Amino acid sequence: MGRPNVGKSTLTNAIAGQKIAITSSKPQTTRRAIRAIVNREKGQLIIVDTPGIHRPRTLLGQRLNDLVSSTLTDVDVIAFCSPANEKIGPGDKHIVAELEKYPRAKKIAIVTKVDTVSKVKLAEHLLDVSQLWDWKEIIPLSALTGDQVELLVDVVLGMLPQGPALYPDDIDTEETLEERICELVRESALELVEDELPHSLAVTLDEIVEGDVKPQVHVSLWVERDSQKGIVIGKGGSMLKEIGSTARVGIQELMGTDVHLAIQVRVAPDWQRNPKQLGKLGF
């Protein structure tokens, strides 16, 4: 858990050894509790990558915060993530105060992005984090370089209760193919469109049709206003073409075959604040 953009999804992927969760420099990238199943000799670790906790401005934002809260009720270890290159702020303190609600789970702190700061800055940040809570462990690491990622895995496995594996060892995530396809399209759009648009983007899968040569994947990319639709499509369809080209690479890697990707841009007015529209889009 942690604020948006502190490196939770990047760390999840680093531990899993593959792309399970999409990543972006834009806030509110993660919108579900994404589970990665990691098997080691010592045991099975189920990582739950949660949305970033933030002050909600929409019904969607409130539902994402509620999702984090309900998820944390069921876990054995809560890992609070704090990036080494950002100072501890009010948002961090608010999140840490919320830990009181989950007495069953052990609490650890992870200081992410240690590759971006000097040893002196890192030491200062570790001290600041240590003063937030009586953590079982504080682990500095870099998901980008892999530094201390396996140490984190060992530490967390040592804190988990004994019992049978919850998943077969050939399953690496609960995410369905359809969900992962939609997320790859959204990830591509997040990185390419203007800053004011990311919160307004959602993606749903219409169908996958087995073609004669290659599968045809049809998705809808949702925005909130007609003006946003024009931005996503771009002049002469240039932006939409770039989004599709980027997303198709990841989808082909995921499906193990060439695909034809067709994206239709649709408008769902003010969907982040509309309960019916949120339900329709899967929130």
Q: What is the pLDDT of residues 190-208, one digit of tens each?
A: 989 876 677 899 999 999 9
Q: Is the pLDDT of residue 168 over 90?
A: yes
Q: How far is CA 257 from the centre of its chain?
A: 25
At 196 the pLDDT is: 65
pTM over 0.95: no
Which of 136, 90, 146 has the alpha carbon at shortest distance from 114? Answer: 146
Give the SS3 label for residue 35: strand
Q: What is the pLDDT of residues 107-142, one digit of tens each?
A: 999 999 999 999 999 999 999 999 999 999 999 999
By the 10 Å C-beta count (0-12 exposed, 13-18 middle, 19+ buried), 180 is classed as: buried
Cα dihedral value 267, 176, 263, 280, nearest 10: -20
pLDDT, the chain, mean: 93
At 117 the pLDDT is: 97
Averaged pLDDT, 79-107 = 95
Integer distance in angstroms from the first to the last C-alpha of the chain? 19
At 32 the pLDDT is: 85
At 53 the pLDDT is: 80
* Cβ atoms of residues 142 and 148 within 8 Å: yes
- Bridge-partner residues for 218, per DSSP? 207, 262
* Cβ atoms of residues 202 and 281 within 8 Å: yes
Q: What percent of the chain has pLDDT over 70?
A: 99
Say which residue the tokens 């001290």 belong to. Answer: 127
Domains and CATH numbers, the chain: 8-159 (3.40.50.300), 177-280 (3.30.300.20)
Q: Which stretches of 5-96 are assigned E, i.e. beta strand?
A: 34-40, 43-49, 77-83
Burial 256-266 (b: 16+ CB within 10 A, else e): eeebebebebe
DSSP state of 15: H
* Cβ atoms of residues 251 and 227 within 8 Å: no
Evaluated on CA atoms 11, 14, 20, 23, the torsion sign reads positive
| Calpha distance 177→47 (Å, rounded) | 19
